[in-house]
Amino acid sequence: MKFLQNLIKKLLEKPLWLILAVAFLLRVLYLILNYPLWWDAHVYLGMGKFLFSGGKIGMWEPFRPLIHPLLLGIAWKMGLNTIIMGKLLDLLFSLASVYLLYKIAEKAYSKTAAIISSIIFALSPVFIMFTGLLLTEPLAILFGLIGIYFLVKETSAKNYFWGGLFLGLSFLTKFPQGILLAAVAISLLLTKTRPEEQLHSSLLKKLSLLFYLSFGFLIPVMPYLILNYILYQDIFLPFTSGSWIITTATWAYNSEWWYYLYWFFVKNPLYLLFFPALYLFYQKKEWHSPQKSIIIWAALLILAYFWYLPRKEVRYVVLALPFLSLMIGSFINYLYELNREKKIIKPKAFWIAFTIVLLLPLPSNLYFERPPTFEKEIRKIVVEHNITGMVLTSDPAFVSFLDNPIITLDGMEFAPTIYARERGRYKLLFLGDCDLGCPPQDKACYIHKKQFLEQIIQENNPEFTSQYKNCTYMMLTPKT
């Protein structure tokens, strides 16, 4: 008991470690819930297997960045459980990001702002939900924050070089993170010239820093572009194909202009303070401060990018979360100091209100549906039929627990073509009819889908069928 009391006392003396301890415990509890992985996570696991098997097993999607699949592939090659390792890495990346955000806020604002910002960031349900999903965001955020930390720590050629290098790694983990490079460039160019500096020398200094920033950024990016040319004869293919992907099946996603206003800002009411924080930034003319300006521009550009995209999901906003948290943490500190001066409410009441608004969204925003995965059923069929060949599937989930080559049907638009191409080659077919969606008003698509499903049943032997809500799932083997 005495040990526990001493531990709590030491943690209270060091707020950052207390925040990290709470963040750790909350994420461990969340991991215990063991939510199923999302579509993209299975693809990254499959790409990792593909990389380290010479393309013999797993799967490949050229528009995906490579760093995250590379890490998962290393874990798989070492014989480790890739899902468990991925969850542990998510936990590590998440906690390291909270630590870095605290340090950035301490440099750009104050210690009090650092405490508030890191609490907001650590306890944000949008950030917590990524722990254990094996997606690229936790690592991309970590690399991005390392880069930003170098830039706010000190304005020097060395720091801008290292900042650029880590921003490059962040970009190679999640392509939209390239926005951070633009945010840094804009903030640097808008920095006010010091009275003792001449305009000419100030401009040369800014251009010099931009050179070191870009040079650092290109060190990891250039080999990737060269690899693209070797693999695809097109250095920009992952970017162009990725840009095309987000324009497909937009009918299945939200596209209303107000989507993020309601589903992110209103549902997480503390983040509504971003708007008065932005006004305060303008009022104080803080764009002249490169440290604060980087944070503001990063938040604005990331939000603008995802607001512009036709596909809108709350999870996309997580990339802006560190910068929103920094801005809001600084603004809450400003409100607290203002309240102390004006004595509007008691300080205790101020922090109670802050805590309530912070914690209110946690329960509802951390609940997810648990669709079936059929892992046991597919393993049983694979063993019974001794299936070592290709699995053709409408869902990439099986790549996470099967060491087989996987080909996905890629939705109703491409499924008939891919099925015809792979006929005679696949050894097992998994089909979920809800994975083959049609636009609501496209009657021709529904007719085509019905004909395609009839063809599948006619040409294959059903091994397993299950119903979940309005979706039918089938596992079939080809007729010999």
Range scoring the smallest mean pLDDT among 62-66, 164-168, 337-341: 337-341
In this structure, are residues 391 and 407 in contact, taking their beta carbons and an 8 Å threshold? yes
In the chain, where does the domain assigned CATH 3.30.110 lie?
375-478
Please provide the DSSP assignment of 215-281 as one string: HHHHHHHHHHHHHHHHHHS-TTHHHHHHHHHTTTTGGGSB--TTHHIIIIIITSGGGGGHHHHHHHH
> What does the pLDDT read at residue 339?
84
Average pLDDT over residues 336-347: 84
Q: How do residues 191-231 score in pLDDT, each as one tens digit?
A: 776 665 666 567 888 889 999 999 999 999 999 999 999 99
pTM of the model: 0.93
pLDDT value for 459: 93
pLDDT of residue 25: 95
Are 438 and 89 in contact by the 8 Å Cβ rule? The answer is no
Percent of the chain scored above 90 by pLDDT?
60
Q: What angle do CA 250, 306, 104 make, to 5 degrees?
A: 155
Which residues neighbour 379 within 8 Å (Cβ) at sequence distance 6 or greater?
401, 402
| pLDDT above 90 (res 413) | no
- CA–CA distance, 477 with 387 (Å, rounded to integer): 10
Task: Kindly state the tokens that stand for 256.
Answer: 């209303």
Q: How far is CA 391 from CA 329, 403, 430, in A?
A: 49, 10, 8
Q: Say what the pLDDT of residue 397 is.
A: 86
Q: From the CB of residue 103, how many other CB atoms can be counted at a distance below 10 Å? A: 17
8 A C-beta contact, residue 15 and residue 23 = no
Q: Is the pLDDT reported for residue 296 higher than 70? A: yes
Does pLDDT of 108 surpass 80?
yes
pLDDT in tens, 50-99: 999 999 999 999 999 999 999 999 999 999 999 999 999 999 999 999 99
Flag whether pLDDT at 3 surpasses 60. Answer: no
Q: Which of 5-14, 127-136, 387-396 has the lowest mean pLDDT?
A: 5-14
Is 70 exceeded by the pLDDT of residue 10? no
Q: Write out the H or E segment, with its range, that includes residue 86.
A: helix 82-108
Say which range, 211-215, 303-307, 319-323, 348-352, has the weakest mean pLDDT: 348-352
CATH of 375-478, one of 3.30.110, 3.40.50, 3.30.1360, 2.40.50: 3.30.110
